[in-house]
Structure 1
Amino acid sequence: MDRLQDIFQKTIASIYNVDKEVIFTRTDNDFGDFSTNVAMLLAKELKDNPRQIAQNIVDSIDEAKGIRNIEVAGPGFINLRVSDEILVDMILVPKSDENTQTVVIETNNPNPFKSMHIGHGFNCVLADTIANLLESSGANTHRVSYHGDVGLHVGKSMYSLLKFVEGDPSKLDTIPVNERNRFMSQMYAQGSKVYKNDDSAKKEIDGLAKQSFILDDPIYKKVYETCREWSFEQIDDLVARLGNKPTERRYLESQADNLGVETVRQHVGDVFIESEGAIMFPGSKYGSFDNVFVGSNGSGLYGARDLGLMQLKNRDYHPEKSYIVTAEEQRDYFKGVIKASELCLPNLQNTTVNIPTGTVKLTSGKMSSRDGDVLEVEWLFNQIKQALESHSSNDEAIITGAIRYQFLKVKIGNDVVFDIQGATQLQGNTGPYLQYSYARAYSILSKINEPTDTMLIDLESNEHILLHKISEYNEILEKAQKDLSPHILANYTYELTQSFNSFYEKNRVIGDEREDQRVKLIGLYTRTLKKCLDILGIPVLEKM
């Protein structure tokens, strides 16, 4: 693109003696490779006819090296087709990494003592892919996790767990490793049920929730620590199966609580308001809502813990940006917490960024089980596996690709409508289709050595169209990085595979007189597709 811009800018300067930035947009193949409205912009400055300006530019540029066809269209657009050489340059010229920031991003945050539900899985995949985009832009990226290991949900599980062990924590040893997830789900479900329906149990659970902060009973502590570790093992396993890269640090609410409460107390009067023993942030003044950070009993609530977490991240990484991916309903909550942090801690000004997401819905409309519990990630894995038309050693990688792509192809903030049956198809806008499209091209390259001395010049029309699509990669990646929008890259990846499959179905490769050029072209395609899949976190398969 730099080469084209240089040609146009020098031409405009020679005709009109002005230095004008020239921006090109990709255009439909029927009209060319690129289009620019620079003549229409110049017309405003020069007070001249835009179409005549465009014609003057075209007449001067017609014989320029690298431009095959150029013409004026409409009121003053300039459409042009470029040489194959220019498109190859766009592919091979490495993109410079411009982002030098240190960033932290929470790539998973399900709570222990509960099952990981589909919404958690969605946010995990989205956050991990945003981290990949940040890394690919050059940012020094740190993946961390944050988990609620104290509070009411812990009390609900501990109520059931303590009844199960009956004073003997070694009874937990009777639970097989492969049954721990199901067991923990049952414990939480039982505790949740009695909390709703039994006032006496509710009071006991509230007490057990408070005990999670102090761990002063040896039996409670042993059961708590054992089951918390089980939960983390389960979370780590599911997050890995989703295709996420490992985190380098695990933060806990129990670690952040005291620091957050202390910070809140230090800023009563200038930032926070004390009312009836509780300490509140007047978020309604800042577009959020009034939120209690410290309860009347002196215990820290979510806001205080998030305030503590922000300081822990700053202590450990000194990030210029800290990203948190959450559900949409937490948007206003984080607006208030972020504002409170900036008022209390000026060194955190403009650091924390909340990225709210939509929700995940099934095409059936069903997002909860018969007892009303939200569906778990484990359930989704099992459903996808059952939906596969055939089975192989690649099943796990295909399931991961199917889930990630369904999550990533939708614009952040929009709801994901998850079609379990459709997500596994090898045709259409699916993860397995992308994986198959890579394997299909790889099989060609595995049969013949890619020529090293072949130049991609004088390509036929259908070859040029595929080359044009490949050459979009750097522009697409830059936009996805700038907007932190995985769907931009996901949608391009699908278009790229469509272009390849359309080309391959119409053109013989091995044994054709244009074999060298076509193998070279497919080599460029596979390398570009692999880069896309790697950033999206979709497993690359050489055979399907």
Structure 2
Amino acid sequence: MDIFALFTTRVIEALRADHPELEDSLLARVVVEPPRDASHGDLSTNAAMVVAKPLGKNPRELATALAGRFAQAPDVESVEVAGPGFINFRLSNAIWHQVLKAVGAQGESYGRSDVGQGERVNVEYVSANPTGPMHVGHTRGAVFGDALASLMAWSGYDVTREYYINDTGGQTLILGRSALLRYREALGETIEIPSGFYPGDYLIPVGEALKAEWGASLLDKPEEEAVLIAREAALGAMMVLIKADLAQLNIHHDVFFSERQLHGAGGDIEKTLAWLREEGMVYEGRLDAPKGKTPEDWEDREQTLFRAKDYGDDTDRALIKSDGSYTYFAADIAYHRNKYLRGFKHMVNVLGADHSGYVKRLQAAVKAVSHGEAEIDVRICQLVRLLKNGEPFKMSKRSGDLVTLSDVVEEVGSDATRFMLLFRRNDASMDFDFALVKEQTRDNPVFYVQYAYARACSIFRTAERDMAGLDISPAALSAAEVERLSSAADIELIRLIGAWPRTVAAAALAHEPHRIAFYVHDLAAAFHGFWAKGKDDVDLRFVNASDPTLTLARLALVDAVRQVIRNGLGILGVSAPEELS
């Protein structure tokens, strides 16, 4: 039960009744949301101001007339016009009791919606070069992308989780040479790893595997051939390693797309370039030198250019390098055209902070290859600074100088890693303090939320112990007289529970899973606050042996709190333990 959606429908129906000439596109701009000042009521709508100008009427007069239609509604306690024409509603307790009953009836489905309407969406995230284990720089994007995919699936989208394997190019050859060195080491040679190679111990097993398969015969092959063989072995091993690393955070992709599909004769880049030429989207010309420092990839020469400026980019983009090879952007265009041809008109790419300059060019590419039918949202995840007790914290194990995903999960666990990385907007840099996330205090957000869930479960155990004859089965909770819940504390908590469906839908539409983390933290705080009040006021206790009817109603409230927390943590990929050690 989404009271915001419910009242949006009722407000629009009232407007249509008085003004049938209003168009649906205009009414779609009507919003019902919480007022900025909670003292103004429970709901607020901009309806009168949306339709005033098209109707040629004064917005306050329209608001007054519209408010009059709700003055006698049994679930509206009061309705007032404020400011230039806002309408504020204060709801009766009856509607909050309906919310509580809806949570009990819908259970784990409470808050699910069809805002996605089954639209296919491709969420591409992580896409780290397969040259080593996942490091902490990849972890934030991995967690963000996975939570966003879950959030959108929860909200009615048909989601595909995709990983782009960058398995071509110079870095893979360096990986092959690094693995070949480890192969020589496995054969007993003393090696020295040159600067620029991959020094991590994670390539030692690759060298051992090459030895087991080839013996010493790789040494007899031309170096270029041996490097390619070592590269293939290393790439395969690295993808196994990366998938295992991601699995530690319960992250699994549906599609692993190899960049190699784009290259070569008959590859997607060749096909896409031919199509772009047919569509008149490329031309031969020169690029002006960029202002300021000239980038290494800029060349003052006649070259094949994509008309990116026609699609919103700051400059046209080169597609072919002077040596005849394709630019990275040519691969980007081909890859996103591939996505579009696979049926994705809604794409989300999660990239690291060093890719912030890619946003406009990717948007231009998607707009061009889809003739404006598809859209892409590029989400940038800013850097994470690792701390311990407020001081910079470094760990170095199997990967040279890198802090790996496995290092972080081993130190604090999957739940803390996921929740803390989501407890801040993706586009804001953040500090990750290992000491803080191990504390069992309210200052530790993940503990605070999980403790609220565990506390809710313990309240049921207390009821079983202190009121052994009381039926607290799901059926009994569904039949509880929740009308007994009329205190300000009761209604405040239910009001927050009632905001859950709107919160989920808004977070999905905005591609902002951090809203879910913020919400469950707020709900946990409200629940802990209610529990504290019960220590001083017997009438607010969740378990009151002298009043079984009120106890059952309060247990229905507690059950709703733990259900919503479990739903929220589930979207974030965080567990909801019934007890904390």
Query: Taking structure 2 as the reference length, what is the TM-score of the superposition?
Result: 0.72
Question: Cα deviations across residues 23-65 of structure 1 (Å, max 9, x unaligned)?
Answer: 44324554443344667778887867949975x7777755531
2:356 matched to which residue of 1? 331
2:345 matched to which residue of 1? 320
Give the Cα–Cα distance (whole angstroms) in 2 for the partners of residues 479 and 112 of structure 1. Answer: 35
Matched, 1:358 2:369: no
Matched, 1:241 2:265: no
Matches within 5 A, 1:68-87: 68-70=77-79, 79-87=88-96
Describe the shift of the 1:263–1:444 C-alpha distance in structure 2 as closer, same or farther (beyond 3 A): same
Give the Cα–Cα distance (whole angstroms) in 2 for the partners of residues 274 and 523 of structure 1. Answer: 67
Q: Are the counterparts in 1 of residues 282 and 305 from structure 2 also a CA contact under 8 Å?
A: no
Describe the shift of the 1:296–1:367 C-alpha distance in structure 2 as closer, same or farther (beyond 3 A): farther
Question: Cα deviations across residues 393-424 of structure 1 (Å, max 9, x unaligned)?
Answer: xxxxxx22222222222223222232332233
2:333 matched to which residue of 1? 307
Give the Cα–Cα distance (whole angstroms) in 2 for the partners of residues 282 and 43 of structure 1. Answer: 42
1:527 counterpart (556, 563, 568): 563
Secondary structure, aligned partner of 1:104: strand
2:73 matched to which residue of 1? 64
Question: Cα deviations across residues 321-379 of structure 1 (Å, max 9, x unaligned)?
Answer: 22211124323335335534654x44685344422232222355848779995533233
Question: Cα deviations across residues 115-154 of structure 1 (Å, max 9, x unaligned)?
Answer: 3222211111111111112212211111121122222222
Q: Which of 485-494 and 27-36 deviates more? A: 27-36
1:452 counterpart (478, 503, 522): 478
Q: Are the counterparts in 2 of residues 31 and 79 from structure 1 also a CA contact under 8 Å?
A: yes
Q: Which of 365-374 and 141-150 deviates more? A: 365-374
- How many residues get paired? 492
2:526 counterpart (489, 499, 507): 499
Q: Which of 259-268 and 98-107 deviates more? A: 259-268
Secondary structure, aligned partner of 1:457: helix
Matches within 5 A, 1:75-114: 79-90=88-99, 92=102, 96-99=113-116, 100-114=118-132
Matched, 1:297 2:312: no
Matches within 5 A, 1:36-51: 36=45, 50=60
Give the Cα–Cα distance (whole angstroms) in 1 for the partners of residues 314 and 46 of structure 2. Answer: 43
2:294 matched to which residue of 1? none
Describe the shift of the 1:29–1:516 C-alpha distance in structure 2 as closer, same or farther (beyond 3 A): farther
Q: Are the counterparts in 2 of residues 108 and 239 from structure 1 also a CA contact under 8 Å?
A: no
2:282 counterpart (266, 271, 275): 271
Q: Give 1:293 shift.
A: 3.7
Q: Are the counterparts in 2 of residues 144 and 249 from structure 1 also a CA contact under 8 Å?
A: yes
Q: Which of 436-445 and 347-356 deviates more? A: 347-356
Q: Are the counterparts in 1 of residues 76 and 91 from structure 2 also a CA contact under 8 Å?
A: yes
Give the Cα–Cα distance (whole angstroms) in 2 for the partners of residues 242 and 24 of structure 1. Answer: 37
Q: Which of 489-498 and 20-29 deviates more? A: 20-29
Q: Which of 248-257 and 269-278 deviates more? A: 269-278
Q: Are the counterparts in 1 of residues 78 and 89 from structure 2 also a CA contact under 8 Å?
A: yes
Give the Cα–Cα distance (whole angstroms) in 1 for the partners of residues 385 and 114 of structure 2. Answer: 37
1:255 counterpart (251, 261, 284): 261
Matches within 5 A, 1:50-199: 50=60, 54=64, 61-70=70-79, 79-90=88-99, 92=102, 96-99=113-116, 100-166=118-184, 182-184=200-202
Describe the shift of the 1:439–1:181 C-alpha distance in structure 2 as closer, same or farther (beyond 3 A): farther
Describe the shift of the 1:482–1:89 C-alpha distance in structure 2 as closer, same or farther (beyond 3 A): farther
Give the Cα–Cα distance (whole angstroms) in 1 for the partners of residues 125 and 414 of structure 2. Answer: 16
Q: Give 1:461 shift.
A: 1.5
Matched, 1:231 2:235: no
Q: Are the counterparts in 1 of residues 281 and 307 from structure 2 also a CA contact under 8 Å?
A: no
2:447 counterpart (413, 422, 432): 432
Give the Cα–Cα distance (whole angstroms) in 2 for the partners of residues 26 and 341 of structure 1. Answer: 36
Q: Are the counterparts in 2 of residues 367 and 375 from structure 1 also a CA contact under 8 Å?
A: no
Q: Are the counterparts in 2 of residues 39 and 53 from structure 1 also a CA contact under 8 Å?
A: yes
Secondary structure, aligned partner of 1:413: coil
Output the amino acid matched with 1:490: A
2:404 counterpart (347, 371, 376): 376
* Identical-pair percentage: 22
Give the Cα–Cα distance (whole angstroms) in 2 for the partners of residues 37 and 335 of structure 1. Answer: 33
Q: Are the counterparts in 1 of residues 346 and 375 from structure 2 also a CA contact under 8 Å?
A: yes
Listed as ranges, the gaps of 5+ residues in structure 2 are 190-197, 207-221, 287-300, 465-471, 535-540
Matches within 5 A, 1:194-213: none
Q: Give 1:464 shift.
A: 0.9
Output the amino acid matched with 2:115: E
1:287 matched to which residue of 2? 313
Q: Are the counterparts in 1 of residues 366 and 376 from structure 2 also a CA contact under 8 Å?
A: no
Give the Cα–Cα distance (whole angstroms) in 2 for the partners of residues 368 and 279 of structure 1. Answer: 46
Output the amino acid matched with 1:495: D
Give the Cα–Cα distance (whole angstroms) in 1 for the partners of residues 46 and 575 of structure 2. Answer: 41
Output the amino acid matched with 2:282: V
Quote the RMSD (CA, aligned, Å). 4.1
Give the Cα–Cα distance (whole angstroms) in 2 for the partners of residues 335 and 520 of structure 1. Answer: 50
1:542 matched to which residue of 2? 578
Output the amino acid matched with 2:93: D
Q: Give 1:485 shift.
A: 1.0
Secondary structure, aligned partner of 1:294: coil
1:25 matched to which residue of 2? 33
Matched, 1:34 2:43: yes
Describe the shift of the 1:114–1:433 C-alpha distance in structure 2 as closer, same or farther (beyond 3 A): same
Give the Cα–Cα distance (whole angstroms) in 2 for the partners of residues 13 and 283 of structure 1. Answer: 44
Output the amino acid matched with 1:440: R
Q: Which of 88-97 and 402-411 deviates more? A: 88-97
Describe the shift of the 1:68–1:424 C-alpha distance in structure 2 as closer, same or farther (beyond 3 A): farther
Secondary structure, aligned partner of 1:354: strand
Q: Give 1:517 shift.
A: 0.9
Secondary structure, aligned partner of 1:114: coil
Q: Are the counterparts in 1 of residues 321 and 327 from structure 2 also a CA contact under 8 Å?
A: yes
Secondary structure, aligned partner of 2:244: helix
Give the Cα–Cα distance (whole angstroms) in 2 for the partners of residues 373 and 360 of structure 1. Answer: 16
Q: Are the counterparts in 2 of residues 39 and 50 from structure 1 also a CA contact under 8 Å?
A: yes
Q: Which of 457-466 and 9-18 deviates more? A: 9-18
2:501 matched to which residue of 1? 474
Q: Are the counterparts in 2 of residues 260 and 306 from structure 1 also a CA contact under 8 Å?
A: no
Q: Are the counterparts in 1 of residues 199 and 400 from structure 2 also a CA contact under 8 Å?
A: no
Question: Cα deviations across residues 157-207 of structure 1 (Å, max 9, x unaligned)?
Answer: 322321221297899xxxxxxxx995137899xxxxxxxxxxxxxxxxxxx
Q: Give 1:528 shift.
A: 1.3
Give the Cα–Cα distance (whole angstroms) in 2 for the partners of residues 429 and 272 of structure 1. Answer: 56
